[in-house]
Amino acid sequence: MTNILIIDDDPYILNLVEVTLKDSGFFTYKAIDGFEALDIFEQTPIDLAIVDVMMPKMDGFTLTQKIKNMYHIPVILLTAKGELHDKEKGYISGTDDYVVKPFEPKELVFRIQAVLRRYNNLSNDVIQINDVKIDKRNYEVQIGNQRMIMPLKEFELLALLASRPNQVFNRDYLIENIWGLEFEGDERTVNVHIKRIRQRLEKVTSTIEIITVRGVGYKLEVAS
Amino acid sequence: MMKSLYTKFLFITLLIMIASSLIGFFIANSYYQNSLKPENDSKNMEIVTGIANYAETQDDLNQFFTHTASTGYQLLVVNQQGDKEFYGGQFDEKNLPTKAIEKVLNGDSYHGMRDFPKGTFVTGFFANELQNSVGVPFRHNGTQYALFLRPNIKLLFNELHILLGWMAFAIFILSLIAVLIWAAILIRPVRQLSHATNEIGENGFNVNLDIHRNDEIGQLAQNFKDMTSRLEDLDEVRKSFVSNVSHDIQTPLLNIQGYSRLLKNSTLSDEEKNSYLEVIQEETERMSILSKQLLTLSSLEPNSQSYSIKEINISEQIQSLLHKYYWLINENELSLTYSLEDITVKGNPDLLYTVWENLLTNAIKYNEPGGSIEIKAEKTNNQLAIEFTDSGVGIKSNEQSQIFDRFYRGDSARTRTNQGTGLGLSIVKEVIELHEGNIYIYSQLEKGTTFKIIFPRL
């Protein structure tokens, strides 16, 4: 279970974020200012913090800095539109991502998942095969000066295949590693994803190709 | 209080006349004082010398001077004993100093005209004073006399005075009348214009303005006509805009009202409840977008506010946009390829961000799962090109010319969405044109659409 601490002085936003995150399966804690947040940190193991920038007593940048100094966890900043120029300040304070208010609940959940995954996969950040660079830090595939972003599941599938080029992965292994054990879909889901990755890749490069190994699974082949 | 232009014209004309006559008098007076006075003096001195010379040869002085005076002179004859004898017209003031008489009797001449004191409001020429005369000595029958002379101005110039007076009066009256007539001619079109302005307030823009002139007033009238026709066009646009907006606000509100009323019914299944709530959600979202876009549109009105102009790095702006919309791209199972050269444009960051946001959300909205989006920013020698290409539903060729119109919406059956407000692309076009750019559309049904924006490179 992932524990997320939400810090915002606006009770409505606090509740909205809480409900959204609970629906997505996270466990949530709430704090209305920085001091309360630091108290909670001392009592509970927190996996990720969502911090509002504009807060009384202690602003979000200061709080982010304190959290980053004491705990090794990701932080996402909530900023109002006018504070966008504080982006740099946010990154200097150590934040991992920022979300501009007003935001879609789904947007926030997506960012949380992306940041958490990045934190759990700190090894092999970048995979380079020929001219193709797969960057796990920002979920981008780079070919020459072209960059591509794709749905997270497709990216992870590609990154997994690319982590061991020319090695065959069977479908069950892929499902377990990308979708998790509790995945209820069937192997066709994997097929659809592979098909889409192929279509996307063939537009931008010919140096790597995903090959179907009949009856077994898939492998990423590197053109010589 | 409105003062009529007539009274102003009259008053100012009177003022000008009085001022100019005063100034004229001063100029004439100073001219007389400085140049004419000595001349006048010496002229009269010649005359008086002639008379005196002639008098010396006469038998009857009395008769001679009476005669001479009647030709238009005022004379004073003083003998050695100081007896004074006046001939001709009366002096208004007999203020000749005794010293002057003694001097003349002693053989000097008297230049009273030349030495007459200067006065601002006194014209020496007309001062009928004994002091203002010329005098010479003469002898007659062994007696010393002094003769003082001054032309009889009244006698010589009386008719001229009256003539000049009448002339001045006539000039005065005629000028006034002429000014009034001219003012009337000038003021009539101004009144017409003012009347027409009132009419626009009351009866709308159909105003008949019958002014045909070649001067500034004619120009004013022409400008006025142009302005009313422009206002009329604007009014049309505004009316249709307001009716569109109110329709677009009413529709979602009615939907929200209707579906929330349905939701009160407790016998609904969960599925029904959810679908009704979804409608309400969509409609509130549409209204939220609409209000945002209306705000953007109002900021695009000329002179509505001076928006800040900065150097904007377009590729940075688009990258931060991609960061924000990554989740939506993920959710719609799309991929997005981008290659952005470093491009900077001078302009308003918020407005341009709105452009990219509109184009990207369109590309997402009208795409299919598994589809793709491509964004390119390139600079060539003389232009900057930014392209948004999607693999979506495409736009019919007969609709392509209309999609930039305000409130135009694509065929919603085909685009499977009622989310649009019909304002997004019109905002895009207006912002791009505000930045001196152009937007082009290339689209194929069921294949996809490309929006290409070109800025001239400065």
Fold of domain A126-222: Arc Repressor Mutant, subunit A (1.10.10)
CB contact under 8 A, A148 and B333: no
CB contact under 8 A, A146 and B339: yes
Tell me, what DSSP letter sits at residue B452? E
Chain B touched by A150 (CB under 8 Å): yes
Chain A touched by B285 (CB under 8 Å): no
Average pLDDT score over chain B:
83
pLDDT value, residue B2: 54
Q: Specify whether the CB–CB gap between A149 and A200 falls below 8 A.
A: no
Chain A touched by B322 (CB under 8 Å): yes
CB contact under 8 A, B326 and A154: no
Residue B236 pLDDT grade (very low, low, confident, very high; cuts 50, 70, 90) = confident
pLDDT in tens, B45-74: 888 888 888 888 888 888 888 888 888 888
Which chain B residues are Cβ-neighbours of A200 within 8 angstroms? 335, 337, 372
Token pair listed for B159: 């008719």
In chain B, what is the greatest distance between 2 CA atoms, to the nearest angstrom? 154
CA nearest to A114 within chain B: B327
Q: Which of B161, B164, B131, B172 is nearest to B148 (CA)?
A: B131
CA separation for the pair B447, B395 (Å, rounded):
9
CA nearest to A195 within chain B: B370
At what angle are helices B314-331 and A105-120 packed, to 10 degrees? 100
Tell me, what DSSP letter sits at residue B384? E
Q: Is the pLDDT of residue B121 over 70?
A: no
Chain B touched by A119 (CB under 8 Å): no
CB contact under 8 A, A204 and B339: no
Which residues of chain A does CATH 3.40.50.2300 include? 3-123
Chain A touched by B50 (CB under 8 Å): no
Q: Cβ neighbours of residue B287 under 8 Å, at least 6 residues apart?
A: B249, B252, B253
pLDDT in tens, B126-162: 778 888 888 888 888 888 888 888 888 777 777 777 8
Question: Which residue has tokens 């150590």?
Answer: A94
pLDDT value, residue A122: 57
CA separation for the pair A174, A176 (Å, rounded):
5
pLDDT in tens, B12-39: 888 988 899 899 888 888 888 778 888 8
pLDDT in tens, B374-426: 999 999 888 999 999 999 888 888 888 888 887 777 665 555 555 677 788 88
Cis peptide before A165 (omega within 30 of 0): no
A100, A110, A192: residue with CB nearest B330? A110
CA nearest to B285 within chain A: A104
Sheet of strand B84-87: strand arrangement: B84-87, B73-79, B143-151, B134-140, B110-111
How big is chain B by its Cα radius of gyration, in Å?
49
Residue B194 pLDDT grade (very low, low, confident, very high; cuts 50, 70, 90) = confident
CB contact under 8 A, B370 and A199: yes
Token pair listed for B279: 């409608």
pLDDT value, residue A123: 55
pLDDT value, residue B1: 43
Q: Specify whether the CB–CB gap between A90 and A99 falls below 8 A.
A: no
CA separation for the pair A184, A176 (Å, rounded):
11
Which residues of chain A does CATH 1.10.10.10 include? 126-222
Q: Is the dihedral of CA B200, B206, B212, B215 positive or negative?
A: positive
- CATH homologous superfamily of A3-123 equals Response regulator (3.40.50.2300)
Tell me, what DSSP letter sits at residue A205? -
pLDDT value, residue A124: 58
Question: What DSSP string describes A52-87?
Answer: ESS-SSS-HHHHHHHHHHH----EEEEE-GGGGGGH
In chain B, the percentage of residues whose pLDDT exceeds 70 is 94
Q: Which of B102, B82, B95 is nearest to B128 (CA)?
A: B95
Question: What DSSP string describes A118-141?
Answer: HHHT-SS-EEEETTEEEETTTTEE
CA nearest to A203 within chain B: B337
Residue ranges for chain A with pLDDT beneath 50: none
B208 or B26, which is more confident: B26
CA separation for the pair A13, A7 (Å, rounded):
10
CB contact under 8 A, A146 and B333: no
pLDDT in tens, B254-287: 888 888 888 887 788 888 888 889 888 888 888 8
Q: Which uninterrupted H or E stretch holds A212?
A: strand A208-213
CB contact under 8 A, B330 and A152: yes
Contacts 24+ apart (CB under 8 A), A18-21: A20/A105, A20/A108, A20/A109, A21/A108, A21/A109, A21/A112
Q: Which uninterrupted H or E stretch holds B83?
A: none
Question: How close A42 comes to chain B (CA, Å)?
Answer: 33
- Across residues B350-368, what is the average pLDDT? 90
Tell me, what DSSP letter sits at residue B35? I
Question: How close B390 comes to chain A (CA, Å)?
Answer: 13
Question: How close A169 comes to chain B (CA, Å)?
Answer: 23
pLDDT in tens, B431-454: 898 888 999 999 998 899 999 999
Question: How close B446 comes to chain A (CA, Å)?
Answer: 17
